[in-house]
Amino acid sequence: MSIFTIIKNRLAKGIVDIDLAGEIKQANILGRELRSVIDRKFKGSFNIRQVDTGSCGACLSEIIAAANPIYDLQRFGVNIVASPKHADALLVTGPVSRNMALALKKTYAATPGDKFVISIGDCALDGGIFKDSYYTLGGVDKVLKVDLHIPGCPPTPLVIIRYLLAFLRS
Amino acid sequence: MDIRQTLKDQYRIEPLMINTKNKEESYLTVKHADFIPTCLALHKLCHSPVMLMFAEDKRETRSCYRLNTAFYASGKQHWYYVCLDFPAGDQDFPSLAKEIYSASLFEREIWEMFGIRPEGSPDLRKLRLHEEVWPENSFPLRKDFKAGEIAGSTGKDYSFIKGEGEGLFEVPVGPVHAGIIGPGHFRFSAAGEPIINLEIRLGFTHRGVEKMLEGKDLTSGVKISECVAGDSAFAHSWAFCQAAEKLLDISPSPKAILIRALFLELERLYNHVNDIGGIAMDVGFTFASAFASIMKENIQQLNASLSGSRFLKGINLIGGVSKNIAASQKDMLHAKLNSFSSDLDELEKILFENASFMNRVENTGILWKKTAEDIGIIGLAGRASGIAFDLRQFIEPYQGAGFTPITRDSGDVLARLNVRILESKQSLHLIAAFLEKIKTGDLSVTPFVPKEGFAAGAVEGWRGPVIYWLKLNSNGKIERCKIVDASFHNWEGLAYAVKGEIIPDFPLCNKSFDLSYPGNDL
C-alpha cells in the first residue's frame, strides 16, 4: 500500500473517533477566539519558547499535546519556537532546580523586548510537591516576574489553551 | 545454586552473614577485603551489571556507613546484595568501578551525596550537585545534613573531557534545547561532521527526591514516586508500592495485579507510539509523526477515561489499586485497542515503505551487544542490542499470558524502532489477555500497618527496569529510599552509540533511546 493510498483512506475515514471529536470541537471554539485576539494584538502570531527547570516531564508532554493535530495550537497563531530570540513569551515548567536558575535567567535575557513569562504546572507555582527540597528554589517567581500561571498537575491541553486565551484577551 | 557453597567452593569467599529476606532477596554482609571479590563473583555468576548501588548513613545507631551493591540473577529471579559496613571515620570504600564499569555512576553519586569516597575511582566529578552552585563538603543524604542558606555561586566549574588535535572542535548544546524537552548538556567533540566523543552532563532537573522521601509516610511516598518521571508515573509508583508490600508482607489480590499490569502496558503503549512518532519527526517525516501523535492522544484519552489521569497517576495504592476495570468497560477497551492496532499497522507501513526513512534509521547509532553488556545497558535499549532481559518474563500475570522478551541484534536506531513496534503489538495482546482474566475480586487489601524493615521493588517500565529500595524506621516512616530508573544505566549507551555518527544524526539517535532527564536526575 503506498503512502498515497493510506492518506486517501485516512481522508475518507477521518482521523478522529467519536470521543476526540468533542475535544476538537472545544478546541475549535476556544481557538477561533484566540486567533482573533492574536491577529488583533500580536499581528497574527504569538511565539512561545519553552524552558524546563526540573519538571517530571508531564507538563512538557501536555504542551506537546496542545500542538498535536487534535488541538493544533499553531492554527490559532500560537507557535512554539526553537530559540528565545524568536519568542514573545517564555513558558516555564518545573520547580526551578538550583542547576537551572542561571540557564533560566540567561534564556530570559536572550528573549527580546516586551516579553511575558508564563509558568505552567503546580511545581512552577511554588515548588509544588518539591517545595521543601534542598535543591529547588520553589517556583518560577523566585527567579523571574511571572505574568500568568497555568495550574494543574499537569494541566490538560485544553486547560492550557483556555488560560492562554484568557490571558491574551486581558 | 546455594550461594554460600558456590562462593566458598569456587571463589574461597565466606561472607560474614547471609540474610535471605524473602524468596527474592539475599543480603550478603562481607569483610572489607572480600568486597571486590564478592562483587566480581556475583557479577559473573548472575551475568548481571551492577543493578543498583547505594549507601546508608547508619552513624547514629551503628557508627558506620553501609554500602549495598545489588546484582540480579535473572535465571532464578533473585537479587543478591553485597553489604559492606565501614566505620564512619574511614570514609573510604574500595572502588568497584575499575573492575565493573556499571558501578561508576553509582560511585560518583555516593561520593557527592554522602561524602564517602570510592578509593581509587577514576572519576569523581559531580553528577547532580553541580559544582557551580553547590559548595563542597555539603552532603545531602547524610542524616545530619541541614539545608540552610546555600550560596548562589561557588565560582567553580565542571571539567569536560576535552578532545584535542588539529581540526578538532567542540559543540556545546543545552541545557535549554530547541525542542520541548528536559534540560541536559551535550558536549560534542567533532572532527568535521563525525562525532569523536560525546560527553553528557545531566543533573539539571535534580530535585532531591531521595532526601525528600526521608521521614515521609508510605502514602506520601506513593504520591512522590508518581512525580519522579511523569511519563513513567505508573511504573515508578508500582515499584514503590511493590517494595512497600514486600516489606509489610502483604500481597495484593490477583485482580489488583492484573489491573496494574494492564495500566503498565497502557503506559508502554502511549510512550512507545510517542517515540515511534518522535523518530519519524527527527528525520523530518512529519506525516508519520503527526499520525503517531494522534495515536498517542487516543491512548492518553483512554487513560483518562479509565483512571481520571492522562498519565495514570493516582491508581497505585499500598496493597492494591484504586481503580477498577468494570465489565461494562471491557467492550469499549477492546474497541479502542482494535482501532489502535489497525492504526499501528498503517503507521508501520508508512514508515517501512519509505526508502529515505529507512536509509536514515538503518545502521545509524549502533550499540553493539558487547559494548552494551560492558557498560551495563538494560531495558529496551539492551533488548535492541540483543540482551534478552525483561523483568516481565519472570512474573505473573505475564508468564500466564505467554510473554517472551522481544530482541533485535543490530543495535541501531532501526532495532530500537522495531522493538518498540513489536512491543506495542505485544502489549495489545497482553491487555486483551489480562481483560479476559479480570473477574470479581478485591481491589486492595485492608489498611496496612507500617513496620520497620527493608525490601526492594522492581518493575519493567517502558524504558526498562525501575527499581525502588525502601527502608522504614520503627515509626513506619521512610528511613531511606533508593530509586533507579533505567535511564541512569542507559545514558552512557547513547554516548557510545553516536560515536562516529554525524552531529545531525544525534537527535535521531537520542530519540531512539528517549531516556528520562528527571528519572535520571531524581
Confidence of residue B88 (pLDDT cuts 50, 70, 90): confident
pLDDT of residue B27: 92
For B268, the grid coordinates are 508502554
The whole-angstrom distance between A28's CA and the closest CA on chain B is 17
pLDDT at A19 over 70: no
Cell of B512: 531512539
Whether A100 and B205 lie within 8 Å, measured CB to CB: yes
Supply the pLDDT for residue B16: 82
Higher-confidence position of A7 and B427? B427
| Separation CA A131–CA A81 (nearest Å) | 30
Average pLDDT value for residue range B471-475: 92
Q: What confidence score (pLDDT) does residue A41 get? A: 82
Using 50, 70 and 90 to split pLDDT, how confident is the model at A129? very high
Residue A15: pLDDT band by 50, 70, 90 thresholds? Answer: low
Higher-scoring residue by pLDDT: B161, B386: B386
Q: What is the set of domains in chain A, with CATH numbers?
A: 17-169 (3.40.50.12280)
Which cell numbers hold the place of B235? Answer: 511504573
Say what the pLDDT of residue B3 is: 84
Q: How far apart are CA B266 and CA B457, in angstroms?
A: 20
Cell digits of residue B7? 562462593
Give the list of residues 6+ apart from residue B517 with CB closer than 8 angstroms, or none: A52, A57, B181, B182, B183, B184, B202, B204, B205, B487
Q: Which of A53, A68, A82 sits opposite B294 (nearest CB)?
A: A68
This model of the complex carries an ipTM of 0.91
Chain B: residue nearest A156 by CA?
Answer: B310
Any B CB within 8 A of A94 CB: yes
Average pLDDT, chain B: 90
The string of DSSP letters for B140-158 reads TTSTT-------S--S---
pLDDT band of residue A18 (cuts 50, 70, 90) is: very low
pLDDT in tens, B103-134: 999 999 999 999 898 988 888 889 999 988 88
What is the total residue count of chain B? 522
The model's pLDDT over B261-315, given as tens digits with 9 standing for 90+, comes to 999 999 999 999 999 999 999 999 999 999 999 999 999 999 999 999 999 999 9
- Is some CB atom of chain B closer than 8 A to the CB atom of A101? yes
The enclosing H or E element of A164 equals: helix A157-169
Grid cell, residue B85, equals 559496613
Of the candidates A63, A64, A97, which has its C-beta nearest B207's C-beta? A97
DSSP assignment string, B49-80 = ---EEEEEEEHHHHSEEEEEEEEEETTTTEEE
Q: Beta B25-29 vs B17-22: how paired, if at all?
A: antiparallel
SS3 (DSSP) at B280: helix
DSSP category for residue A155: P
The whole-number pLDDT of residue B21 equals: 78
In order of their start, the domains of chain B are 3-119 (3.30.460.80), 209-486 (1.10.645.10)
Which residues of chain A lie closer than 8 angstroms to B305, CB-CB?
19
What the block records as the C-alpha cell of B404 is 517472551
pLDDT for B14: 81
Distance in Å, alpha carbon of A76 to nearest chain B alpha carbon? 18
Interface contact A129-B224, CB threshold 8 A: yes
Q: How many CB atoms lie within 10 A of CB A80?
A: 18
Buried residues in A36-47 as b, exposed as e (16+ CB within 10 A): ebbeeeeeeebb
Buried/exposed A18-35: b ≥16 CB within 10 Å, e otherwise: eebeebbeebeebbeebb
Mean per-residue pLDDT for B451-460? 92
Q: Which A residues, 108 through 127, put their C-beta within 8 Å of a C-beta on chain B? A: 123
The minimal CB distance from A135 to the residues B207, B223, B224 is found for: B207
Reported as a single tens digit per residue, the pLDDT across B356-415 is 999 999 999 999 999 999 999 999 999 999 999 999 988 889 988 889 999 999 999 999
Q: Establish how many alpha carbons lie within 13 A of residue B272's alpha carbon, considering only the half-sphere containing its beta carbon.
A: 28
Q: Where is average pLDDT lowest: A54-58, B144-148, B185-189? A: B144-148
CB contact under 8 A, A80 and B133: no
Distance in angstroms (rounded) separating the CA atoms of residues B172 and B166: 18
B436 CB neighbour count, 10 Å cutoff: 11
Q: How confident is the model at residue B150 (pLDDT cuts 50, 70, 90)?
A: low
Q: What is the DSSP string of B311-337?
A: T-TT-EETTEES----HHHHHHHHHHH
Task: List, as ranges, residues 3-62 from A with C-beta within 8 Å of B.
Answer: 3, 6-7, 15-17, 19-20, 23, 50-62
Q: Check pLDDT > 90 for residue A56.
A: yes
pLDDT of residue B238: 95
Closest C-alpha to B383, from B415, B358, B414, B413: B415
Write down the residue that cell numbers 526551578 correspond to: A96
φ/ψ (deg, to 5) at B67: -110, 125
Tell me if the bond preceding B397 is cis, omega within 30° of 0. yes
DSSP code at position B284: T
| pLDDT (tens digit per residue) in B16-35 | 888 887 788 999 999 888 89
Q: Do B182 and A61 touch (CB under 8 A)?
A: no
% of chain B surpassing 70 pLDDT: 99
pTM value is 0.93
Provide the 10 A C-beta neighbour count for residue A72.
18
- B160 confidence band (pLDDT: 50, 70, 90): confident
List CB contacts (< 8 A) between A101 and chain B.
133, 152
| Over residues B469-482, mean pLDDT | 93
The mean-pLDDT minimum among A25-39, A136-150, B30-44, B390-404 falls in A25-39
Beta carbons of A52 and B349 less than 8 Å apart? no
